[in-house]
Amino acid sequence: MVAPSAAGWSGVVLAGLAASPMLGTVVFAADMATAAPNASIAGIEQALADQRYTVADLAGYYVARIGALNQHGPALRAIIEINPDWMGLAGDLDRSDRAARGPLFGVPVVLKDNIDTADRMHTAAGSLALLDSSPQRDAFIVRRLRAAGALILGKANLSEWAGQRSNYAAAGWSGRGGQTRNPYAPDRSPAGSSSGSAVAVAADMSAGAIGTDTGGSIAGPASVNGVVGMRPTLGLVSRSGIIPIAASYDTAGPLTRTVADAAALLTVIAGYDPDDPATARLKDRPPPDFRLALKADSLRGARIGVLRQYAGFNPAVDELFERVLATLRAQGAVLVDPVRISTKGKFEDDADFVEEYEFKDGIARYLATRRGPGPKDLAGLIAFNVEHAATEMPYFGQDEFIASQRSGPLTDRTYREALERTRRLAGPEGIDSALNKDHLDALIAPTGGPAPLIDYIAGSHGGGGGRFTELAAAAGYPRMTVPMGLVHGLPVGVTFVGTAWSDFKLIGFAYAYEQASHARRPPGQIPVE
């Protein structure tokens, strides 16, 4: 479903607001424009409890902003599809039993378009190839979100196939959704691949979002769009019902405006899923409530290693990074500066090789679960793109698809050896070695540079950075990206990395830094006409 025009939505939204069932007075759009902007999850919870507005009012506020900003005005194209049933779902939540309401009651959330929903929305990874088929059921994390009371408001645009189709793709472009744009400067890249999820949150088109990450697909968009993004430890969040790239690296995670909101979303989506063996550890050891990590003194006494080898690519970014380090010291952290990853540059090519092998296998397994016609394997996707080249390949081709199609089975010795090297060099001999050498709790480095211009010739390359985001991804370890300031009006982020299952600790560090720095600067207010 393509979102109606701004004018079309404004009429729908105003009608929905006027019919607000839970309040004794009419709630007008102007009132919501005062009550709802940049609302936190905790703030939404309190406002709904106090009956300051309803779920329908809040959802209508976001739909109005989507209508005005997504295809009109700055044409951010962050939302690929609005849930056609949002008004009915919001009304059902408003009429629900108060005693049975979950921890995300009424919170509008958008999902990256590679996360299955068995409703009237599509799940297509941004590709036209999957529009004639559909998932059989909600992804595991979607079932958890719905059970917690969240309103699935829509699907977010992305780099098509989560950036797996071509090395020369423009970040944030998909055949289905067009080009997502950075809300701080619409001619700038939103980064990939969870671009729409990050932009939707940054531009206040949703209270929160879920993205996915294989190498840097949460951290990059979080950094250049000025929001918080978390890649959890591999196995903390189920991947069942999510269109795969590489099972050894894939995970879903939250993109939000604050660390507290990320903790709230992660608490709901984390957990054991019998359909994802990576989560087996959680069967007998359920994850904690990550909101308990939100303590302003979490950095006191923490030993943080400074990875300067991943800095030095942009003087203005370096200047902001020095302010970050000063803030950490002021909050009581002990900095070990510098710390080195001795395996940097020794595993990244192997990680790319592993992705080629695993994508071919994983996408065939996934496509076999869908109902209806359409491609059933990677060869079918390649053929579809050739047949529909005018709409699917106007700017870049499918070189990664073709390389993956040429790969062998997962029993190949070359693949198994590459996977073993990647995990070992990024994890035990990379992150863990650096942590253990100086008895550190976490590592820190700039996430990357400010967003480059959108470029269909050079693709997504540019912006600067030392591939830091790939380190934790290759190891399967957690990372937390938070804003650290603006460079010429463009956001850049800083990333905390820890060992496996240190998610709780990283959230605490990120929260303490966020509360002390107040580094996030929202994009200039974009009014709804």
pLDDT score recorded for residue 33: 81
Task: Write the pLDDT tens digit of every residue in 31-90.
Answer: 888 888 999 999 999 999 999 999 999 999 999 999 999 999 999 999 999 999 999 999
- DSSP-derived 3-state class of residue 453: strand
pLDDT score recorded for residue 464: 67
DSSP 112: E
Q: What is the pTM of this model?
A: 0.94
> Mean pLDDT of all residues in the chain?
92
Q: Please, which pLDDT band fits residue 29 given cuts at 50, 70 and 90?
A: low
Q: Please give the biggest Cα pair distance in the chain.
A: 69
Mean pLDDT of 280-306: 98
DSSP 164: T
Mean pLDDT of 12-20: 30
Adjacent-strand bridge partners of 371? 134
Phi, psi of 107 (to 5 degrees): -80, 115
**Measured distance CA(139)–CA(114) in Å, rounded:** 10
Cα dihedral across residues 253, 172, 128, 75: positive or negative: positive
**Measured distance CA(215)–CA(471) in Å, rounded:** 8
Helix (H), strand (E) at residue 92: helix 86-94
**Measured distance CA(448)–CA(314) in Å, rounded:** 9
> How big is the CA angle at 397 (ends 391 and 401), to the nearest 5 degrees?
110
Mean pLDDT of 315-326: 98
pLDDT score recorded for residue 31: 81
Helix (H), strand (E) at residue 147: helix 140-147
Query: If you search the block for the tokens 């100086």, which residue do you land on?
Result: 438
Cβ proximity of 29 and 61 under 8 Å? yes
Residue 318's CB: how many other CB atoms inside 10 A? 13
Cβ proximity of 190 and 182 under 8 Å? yes
Cβ proximity of 260 and 511 under 8 Å? yes
**Measured distance CA(382)–CA(241) in Å, rounded:** 22
**Measured distance CA(452)–CA(471) in Å, rounded:** 22
- In the chain, where the domains are located: 9-529
Mean pLDDT of 146-154: 98
Task: Write the pLDDT tens digit of every residue in 220-251.
Answer: 999 999 999 999 999 999 999 999 999 999 99
**Measured distance CA(113)–CA(121) in Å, rounded:** 10
- Percent of the chain whose pLDDT exceeds 90: 89
Q: Please, which pLDDT band fits residue 461 given cuts at 50, 70 and 90?
A: low
- Residue-by-residue DSSP string for 362-415: HHHHHHTT-BSSS--SHHHHHHHHHHTHHHH-SS---HHHHHHHH---TT-HHH
Lowest mean pLDDT among 5-9, 223-227, 237-241, 370-374: 5-9
Q: Please, which pLDDT band fits residue 294 given cuts at 50, 70 and 90?
A: very high
Tell which phi-psi region holds residue 410, choosing left (phi > 0), alpha (psi between -120 and 50) or beta. Answer: alpha
Q: Please, which pLDDT band fits residue 19 given cuts at 50, 70 and 90?
A: very low
pLDDT score recorded for residue 148: 98
Task: Write the pLDDT tens digit of every residue in 487-500.
Answer: 999 999 999 999 99
Q: What is the CATH number of domain 9-529?
A: 3.90.1300.10
| Beta strand 251-256 pairing with 334-336 | unpaired
> How big is the CA angle at 28 (ends 22 and 31), to the nearest 5 degrees?
100
CA distances from 378 to 357, 372, 408 (A): 11, 17, 13
Which residues are CB-neighbours of 50 under 8 A, at least 6 positions away? none
pLDDT score recorded for residue 30: 54
Which residues are CB-neighbours of 426 under 8 A, at least 6 positions away? 343, 347, 351, 470, 471, 472, 474, 475, 477
In 3-state terms the chain splits into helix, strand, coil percentages (rounded to 5) of 40, 15, 45
> How big is the CA angle at 382 (ends 379 and 384), to the nearest 5 degrees?
110
Active site residues: 112, 193, 217
Residue 464's CB: how many other CB atoms inside 10 A? 15
pLDDT score recorded for residue 458: 73
> How big is the CA angle at 30 (ends 24 and 36), to the nearest 5 degrees?
85
> How big is the CA angle at 183 (ends 174 and 130), to the nearest 5 degrees?
20
Q: Is the pLDDT of residue 13 over 90?
A: no
Residue 183's CB: how many other CB atoms inside 10 A? 27
